[in-house]
Amino acid sequence: MCLADTLRIHEPYPGVFAYYDGRIEGKRLHSDKPNWLDDGAYELGIASFAIVSGTDALVYDTHISFDHARAIRAHLSRLGVSSIRVVLSHWHTDHVAGNIGFMDCPILSNRLTRDTLIQKRAVLCAKDPPINPVVMPTEVFEGEMRLTVGEIEVHLMQFDIHSADATVLFLPELGVLLAGDTVEDTVTFISEPAGTANHIAELRRLASLPIQRILPNHGAETVIAAGGYGPSLIDATRDYLSRLLSRLDDPTLDAESLKQFVAADLASGAITYFTPYEAVHRQNIAVLRGAEPDE
């Protein structure tokens, strides 16, 4: 079985492609036992992206398996692409598992992503399924970097949101943000609880960009295919984290569902509801109260 058999390809903007997989009820790719691929990525739905202009392409994250990476490359080849660069949004499993499929290409990340991948190499190799080998970035930047993909200008920008090493892509001509995991629909996954207060501040900095639409890696397929989310997704993420921090000692928090907790943002259309995020919400509460987060 090819792991990428259920991969769907969308073009929300001319030359911007979304490679979406998952959110298929009852479908698992790897195992019936708990594992990062099925439970942390495929169940919630995940996209990686490519920006294509002429024969040039910039791939944003390499997806959840070697099969997915090969499927992305096959699609780019059909488009006539002959030059590919990769940008990693951050070091987490579901964003770097397909790096081996691009090991002959330049792979860019911020310096902290490269350093963290080196530090976490053994952790990634021991995952279920394992990421082995861990293919490292070939080029690094710090803070911000600008490049062009054919005729398309792309800004790489580093933020401390979700993970301290996050990199987003901003396409100024379209006003489109490729957000990685800095924002997520239904709610963000808290992987670094000690940094939550700083994540909230960094979300304010992110919101200061002239963003018109947002393409997150985890979100509703129909929304991503139709052009993405509005800037209110950033506000909803910030508000969610702020309210969690303010209510950690509230005894009614544990009895309240995610759907109730984010009711105002659901009503406004800033986010959509997807039932598996109830478990993410429970885990977010637990890690903020001191439980160990999953890596």
- Strand runs labelled E in 150-228: 152-161, 163-171, 176-180, 213-216
* Inside any domain, residue 33: yes
* Inside any domain, residue 126: yes
* Inside any domain, residue 295: no
* Inside any domain, residue 293: no
* CATH number for the domain that contains residue 233: 3.60.15.10
* Inside any domain, residue 133: yes
Q: For the segment 59-83, what is each residue's pLDDT rounded down to a tens digit?
A: 999 999 999 999 999 999 999 999 9
Q: For the segment 156-212, what is each residue's pLDDT rounded down to a tens digit?
A: 999 999 999 999 999 999 999 999 999 999 999 999 999 999 999 999 999 999 999
Contacts of 270 (CB under 8 A, 6+ apart): 229, 230, 232, 233, 235, 236
For the whole model, what pTM was predicted? Answer: 0.96
Structurally, the chain folds into a number of domains equal to 1
Q: For residue 259, what are the domain limits?
A: 8-288
* Inside any domain, residue 1: no
DSSP 255-282: GS-HHHHTHHHHHHTSS---TTHHHHHH
